[in-house]
């Protein structure tokens, strides 16, 4: 029984680690000064949403892992890549204040999350379904990131760091 749930603890530990890393680049004075679209969620929404998404990502990976499917190692690779890109977005957006670079990186993250979900679907339909809210949230985050970039002088200079 412990062998079945040990991978879940590992996957939960990984998402908690990423969450802790990402949280060090929280919204600060720079972010609060940005011009935001009227539909920008209030700050209190992000913590609960990300907490739920991280748990669902961990459970999804665990479901794939315990399925014993031959594609589980490949699925794990996609999962680790998307988790790493997830952390990188926080660093780019909040840490470096580079909304343009963050938008490009978020585009890659969204693509990798879709590929991860596709890989999950061959091993566990439930795991793939658990990833859908994450993909939807990333899509929303992409549109929000684009709006923030455009409203705050977005141009090629902000992407390349000028």
Output the pLDDT for position 27: 77
Quick one: pLDDT at residue 22? Answer: 81
Provide CATH code, domain 2-160. Answer: 1.20.1260.100
Which pLDDT score, from 0 to 100, does residue 137 have? 98
Secondary structure in 3-state letters for the chain: CHHHHHHHHHHHHHHHHHHHHHHCCCCCHHHHHCCCCCCCCCHHHHHHHHHHHHHHHHHHHHHHHHHCCCCHHHHHHHHHHHHHHHHHHHHHHHHCCCHHHHHHHHHHHHHHHHHHHHHHHHHCHHHHHHHHHHHHHHHHHHHHHHHHHHHCCCCHHHHHCC
Low-confidence ranges of the chain (pLDDT < 70): 1-2, 155-162
* Domain residue spans of the chain: 2-160
pLDDT of residue 16: 93
pLDDT at 162: 44
């Amino acid at each position: 029984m412990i062998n079945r749930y040990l991978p879940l603890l590992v996957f939960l530990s990984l998402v908690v680690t990423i969450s802790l890393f990402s949280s060090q680049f929280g919204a600060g004075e720079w972010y609060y000064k940005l011009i935001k679209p009227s539909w920008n969620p209030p700050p209190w929404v992000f913590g609960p949403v990300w907490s739920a998404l991280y748990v669902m990502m961990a459970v999804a990976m665990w479901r794939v892992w315990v399925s014993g499917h031959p594609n589980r190692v490949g699925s794990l690779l996609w999962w680790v890549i998307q988790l790493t890109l997830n952390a990188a977005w926080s660093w780019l957006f909040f840490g470096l204040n580079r909304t343009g670079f963050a938008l490009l990186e978020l585009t890659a993250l969204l693509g990798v999350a879709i590929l991860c979900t596709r890989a999950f679907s061959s091993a566990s339909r439930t795991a793939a379904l658990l990833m859908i809210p994450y993909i939807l949230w990333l899509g929303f985050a992409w549109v929000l990131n684009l709006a923030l970039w455009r409203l705050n002088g977005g141009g090629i200079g902000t992407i390349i760091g000028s």
